[in-house]
Amino acid sequence: MAERTAFIGARVVDPASGRDEVANVLVEGGAVAAVGPDASLRGASLVDCHGLVLAPGLVDLHAHLREPGREDAETVETASRAAAAGGFTAVAAMANTDPVADTPAVVEEVRSLASRAALCDVFPVGAITKGLAGEEMAAIGEMAAIGVRLFSDDGRCVPTARVLRNALQYAKAFDAVIAEHCEDPSLAEGGQMHEGIHSYTLGLTGKPAESEEIVVFRDLALARLTGGRLHLQHLSAGGSVELLRRARAAGVRVTAEVTPHHLVFVDEDLVTYDTNFKVNPPLRTPEDREALRAALADGTIDAVATDHAPHAVEDKEAEFDQAPPGTIGLETALAAVLTHLVEPGLIPLPRAIEALSTAPARILGASGHGGPIEPGRPANLVVFDPRAEWVVEPPFVSRSRNSAFLGKSLRGKVIHTVLRGEPVVGDGKPRR
Ligand SMILES: [Zn+2]
Ligand SMILES: [Zn+2]
C-alpha cells in the first residue's frame, strides 16, 4: 500500500464515535490520519468506496483455530486468513487445543504462529482449569501476566460451582473475564440436538434448553457473589436470555455473545440429518431464535461471535451421532448478520457493527480494535459491499468446509480488510 491511502466516499459506520455518514478515511503509517467528508486526500492513492460501508475491523470473541493439535482441520495461519477474508482484524482463539492452552507456553506458541502469519491479530484464550479437566485451576495468574484477558474451558462447562466461584474470584485480581460454555453435562450427555418435537420425530437424543439455563442461572449467581466478570458464550435459549436480562438489570458484571447460526437456523433445519447443522449448543426453536434476536437488538446480548469450529471432512461426514458438533463461521458471519438481521430491519447497521466489532473489542480488551476511527488510532478497518449477493460454497479460505450456510445465498461481501494500515484483503481476495 502506498504511504498514504485514502478510502473515499464510503458510508463510515463507527459506533465508538457515533459517526454514520459518507466520508473519506485517510490512512498513513499504519494509523488513521484523517476522517470526515472533507478529509484532505493530497498525495494519497485513492480507493473508491462509493456504495460501500467502511467500519472498524470485526472482532471475534470465539474461534477454534485448532493449532496446536488438529492442523488437518485448521491452522493459526489458515484461520487468520479466513478471518481476514471475513473482515475480522482480531480473533480470540479458544484454549481447547492439544495441548490445551493452560500455560503461558502454549499461549506464546499460538501468538508467535499468528504474528508470523500477520493476517489478523490473534488473542489466545487461556483455559480456566488444567487440561480442561474442571478440577485444578490453570495458570491463570501467569497467563494474565502476559496479557491474556479471557479465560474459558470452552467445549466443556466448568462442572462445579466451587471451581467456577474460585476462578471468578481469582480472575478479579487481574480484571480478567471468565467465559463459560453453559451446559450441564449430566443433562446434555449423549444429546445430538435440541430436545423437542423434532428430536422425537427424528429419533435423536435431545439436549433440553434447561441444560443451558441451569448453568446460566448458577453462573450469574456466582458472578453476583464474587463480583467477578462473567461472559456467557454462544447463548441458544430464550430462558437464558431472560435470566441474563434480569442479572444485568441487577448490576451483575456479565456480558454475552450469540452466534450467527443460532440467529439464523432452528432445530427443524436438522430434518435432513445434515451434520453441518449439528452444533453445540444445538439449534433451538423459532421462539428461542426470536428471543436471541431481540436480545441482540436491545443490547442484552453484547456481541455476535462465530464459534468457528472447523472439522476435517472425514470427521464431519460420519454418521450423525458420530459427527463432531460445529460449523465454520469466520467467512460468513458478517453476511449472515446483514442478510438475516439488518436487511429485514430487525437491527440497524450501526448496532450490527457494534455487536461484531466495538463490543467484542471492549470485552476482549483489544484496545487497537473496534474503533473509534479517529486520527492517531491504528488503521484496523473493513470495507464491505452490503448489497453484493453470493452463494456460500467451497473453496473456503478456511482449511475446512463444514459450514451450516453451505449452499445458502447471502448478501454482503468483504472488499477490503486493513490490519494496521496493511491491506490483508484487497478487492475481495486475501493478499497472501
Ligand atoms: Zn462452546
Ligand atoms: Zn466453541
pLDDT digits (tens, 9 = 90+) for 57-115: 999 999 999 999 999 999 999 999 999 999 999 999 999 999 999 999 999 999 999 99
The domain boundary residue, chosen from 364, 384, 399: 364
Type and span of the H or E element at 337:
helix 333-337
Residues with CB under 5 Å of ion ligand 2 are 154, 307
Query: 38 falls in which pLDDT band (50, 70, 90)?
Result: confident
**Residues 77 and 202 grouped into a single domain:** yes
pLDDT (mean) for 326-354: 98
**Residues 166 and 267 grouped into a single domain:** yes
**Residues 353 and 398 grouped into a single domain:** no
pLDDT (mean) for 155-175: 97
Q: What is residue 432's predicted lDDT score, i.e. its pLDDT?
A: 86
Ligand lying closest to the C-alpha of residue 94: 2
Please indicate, yes or no, if residue 312 is contained in any of the structural domains: yes
Give dist(CA 228, CA 221) in Å, integer: 11
**Residues 99 and 234 grouped into a single domain:** yes
Give dist(CA 90, CA 371) in Å, integer: 12
Residue 8 CA, ligand 2 centroid: distance in Å: 38
The domain boundary residue, chosen from 364, 395, 412: 364
Give dist(CA 35, CA 96) in Å, integer: 41
Give dist(CA 43, CA 34) in Å, integer: 13
pLDDT (mean) for 17-39: 95
Q: Which of 151, 71, 75 is CA-nearest to residue 119? A: 75
Ligand lying closest to the C-alpha of residue 61: 2
pLDDT, one tens digit per residue, over 281-305 is 999 999 999 999 999 999 999 999 9
Judged against a pLDDT cut of 80, whether residue 385 lies above it is answered with yes
**Residues 77 and 39 grouped into a single domain:** no
Number of other residues whose CB lies within 10 A of the CB of residue 432 = 9
Secondary structure of residue 121 in the 3-state scheme: strand
Q: What is the DSSP string of 171-196?
A: HHTTT-EEEE----HHHHTT--EESS
pLDDT (mean) for 12-18: 98
**Residues 340 and 391 grouped into a single domain:** no
Number of other residues whose CB lies within 10 A of the CB of residue 46 = 14
Please indicate, yes or no, if residue 128 is contained in any of the structural domains: yes
Q: Which of 375, 395, 428, 378 is CA-nearest to residue 313? A: 395
Tell me which of 119-123, 230-234, 238-242, 317-321 is least confident.
317-321
**Residues 347 and 416 grouped into a single domain:** no
Residue 413's DSSP bridge partners are: 385
Judged against a pLDDT cut of 90, whether residue 42 lies above it is answered with no
Could you tell me the three cell numbers for 276? Answer: 453441518
Judged against a pLDDT cut of 90, whether residue 157 lies above it is answered with yes
**Residues 24 and 137 grouped into a single domain:** no
Type and span of the H or E element at 23:
strand 19-28
CATH number of the CATH domain containing 184:
3.20.20.140
Query: 40 falls in which pLDDT band (50, 70, 90)?
Result: confident
Residue 233 CA, ligand 1 centroid: distance in Å: 7
CATH number of the CATH domain containing 29:
2.30.40.10
Judged against a pLDDT cut of 70, whether residue 1 lies above it is answered with no
Give dist(CA 28, CA 26) in Å, integer: 7
Residue 409's DSSP bridge partners are: 391
Residue 64 CA, ligand 2 centroid: distance in Å: 6
Report pTM.
0.98
Residue 307 CA, ligand 2 centroid: distance in Å: 5
Secondary structure of residue 62 in the 3-state scheme: strand
Is 357 buried (19+), middle (13-18) or exposed (0-12) by CB count in 10 A?
buried
Please indicate, yes or no, if residue 94 is contained in any of the structural domains: yes
In contact, 150 and 364? CB cutoff 8 Å:
yes
Q: 213-250: string of b/e by CB count within 10 Å (b at 16+)?
A: bbbbbbbbebbbebebbbbbbbbbbbbbbebbbebbee
**Residues 248 and 117 grouped into a single domain:** yes
Give dist(CA 404, CA 276) in Å, integer: 5
pLDDT, one tens digit per residue, over 185-211 is 999 999 999 999 999 999 999 999 999
Please indicate, yes or no, if residue 134 is contained in any of the structural domains: yes
Residue 155 CA, ligand 1 centroid: distance in Å: 4
Residue 294 CA, ligand 2 centroid: distance in Å: 23
The domain boundary residue, chosen from 307, 329, 364: 364
Please indicate, yes or no, if residue 369 is contained in any of the structural domains: no
pLDDT, one tens digit per residue, over 246-284 is 999 999 999 999 999 999 999 999 999 999 999 999 999
Mean pLDDT over each residue of the chain, to the nearest integer: 97
Residue 84 CA, ligand 1 centroid: distance in Å: 23
pLDDT, one tens digit per residue, over 407-420 is 999 999 999 999 99
Please indicate, yes or no, if residue 325 is contained in any of the structural domains: yes
Residue 266, φ and ψ in degrees, nearest 5? -135, 175
pLDDT, one tens digit per residue, over 205-235 is 999 999 999 999 999 999 999 999 999 999 9
Please indicate, yes or no, if residue 371 is contained in any of the structural domains: no
Residue 302 CA, ligand 2 centroid: distance in Å: 17
pLDDT (mean) for 37-42: 85
Enumerate the active-site residues.
307
Please indicate, yes or no, if residue 382 is contained in any of the structural domains: yes
Residue 156 CA, ligand 2 centroid: distance in Å: 9
**Residues 49 and 63 grouped into a single domain:** no
Q: Which of 215, 323, 243, 235 is CA-nearest to residue 276? A: 323
Q: Do strands 19-28 and 4-14 pair parallel, antiparallel, or not at all (unpaired)?
A: antiparallel
Query: What is the tally of structural domains in the chain?
Result: 2
pLDDT (mean) for 117-134: 98
**Residues 215 and 341 grouped into a single domain:** yes
Judged against a pLDDT cut of 90, whether residue 39 lies above it is answered with no
Give dist(CA 182, CA 209) in Å, integer: 11
**Residues 39 and 167 grouped into a single domain:** no
Residue 212, φ and ψ in degrees, nearest 5? -85, -45
Secondary structure of residue 219 in the 3-state scheme: helix
Looking at residue 320, the DSSP 8-state letter turns out to be T
Q: Domain containing 185: what range?
A: 57-364
Q: What is residue 2's predicted lDDT score, i.e. its pLDDT?
A: 54
